[in-house]
Amino acid sequence: MDRIYHLTQAGREAIARPDCGLPRAIRELLGSIGFATPLEEIAARLGRYGKRDIQARLEDLEAIGLVESIAVDWLLELLALGSWAPQPIGAPH
């Protein structure tokens, strides 16, 4: 399942601190994640690592609260329902 990733506050704080103790490869991985970054884009930025390895590390990082993800299928469902964006005040429902 395709997912989109972003850093949590803890993830942003971790990469901002050079003394955080995370291995260089994990810091690189965290640094490759933008606001809403698909796995394909992360893998392209970190081409020397395999996509499956990257996905496994992302799952680990999500489990400890440094990243969050959302399934692309779920986002598409929201889009289909028209629930993906707030409606302006006074807009017809």
Whose tokens are 């399942």? That residue is 1
Task: Tally Cβ neighbours within 10 Å of residue 17.
Answer: 10
φ and ψ of 39, to 5 deg: -55, -40
Secondary structure class of 38 (helix, strand, coil): strand
Q: Is the pLDDT of residue 79 over 70?
A: yes
Secondary structure class of 70 (helix, strand, coil): strand
Q: pLDDT tens across 81-90, in order?
A: 775 555 566 5
Q: Where are the domains of the chain?
A: 3-81
Q: pLDDT tens across 15-45, in order?
A: 999 888 899 999 999 999 988 899 999 999 9
